[in-house]
Structure 1
């Protein structure tokens, strides 16, 4: 099962559209980590049938979406957030504590615009970077395990 992870599009809707177009036929789920929910709304007018979930970021003013969510997908528990509620620009200890407390297998966050992939205490962490910088993330969940990596547009 493939998840395409996007964050921080910051009015670069065309780049968001490029990612969706590239993966609309091979992604089982798209996750948007905030800071560009208006961009995503515009993209969904063109691609209304993709399966997507989202959270809001610190720049998504007046958004009604939550800042963090936990979902179960493909047998894995996923915490996804923009990252600002966990102060990720100042380190990852708060988000790691939250990931452990919710029993996450995968923790996805944005906000810093810096691509990041790591496994700590069996939890897969990923920051997909910023769509506005031309990067995003892919998480493949297979019976053999989880593989998370960054990709360029």
Structure 2
């Protein structure tokens, strides 16, 4: 199962729309990791045949979506969160410990606007970066794949 993972669109959805158009037949789901939820809602309305999972970020002022959730796909547990509640701009210790406590196979987060992938104790940590205001100069997203052996990520640039 392949998943499109995006974050931090901040009202700029041109790239997100084009990426979804490109990948919608090859992925089973799109996960939006917050900032801005309204973008995700709009994208969901434009692509009704694609399943969406959405969490809110620190600049999302709706309570209609949770700040984090655990989803199960293909027998694997994935924690999805924006990341701001775990101070991911300064340390990964809090989010790593949180993910370990829930015994997930992967943790997807955003907030830093920097694309990154790392493992800690067998857990994949994935930040797709930002499709609006990237801190490293390249707008980015990720494709995650759930396999019988775990969750793997492919980092992509626009």
Q: Give TM-score, length-normalised by structure 1.
A: 0.95
SS at match of 1:127: strand
Contact 1:79 1:99 in 2 (8 A): yes
Contact 2:73 2:146 in 1 (8 A): no
Moved more, 102-111 or 56-65: 56-65
- For 1:2-151, what aligned pairs fall within 5 Å after superposition? 2-132=2-132, 133=134, 134-151=139-156
**Distance 1:16-1:5 versus aligned 2 partners, 3 A rule:** same
Counterpart-to-counterpart distance in 2, 1:60 and 1:44:
17
Aligned residue pairs, count: 153
Moved more, 105-114 or 130-139: 130-139
Displacement, 1:139?
0.9
Unmatched runs of 5 consecutive residues or more in structure 1: none
Greater helix content: 1
Compute the RMSD of aligned alpha carbons.
1.2
Unmatched runs of 5 consecutive residues or more in structure 2: none
Deviation >6 Å, runs of 4+: none
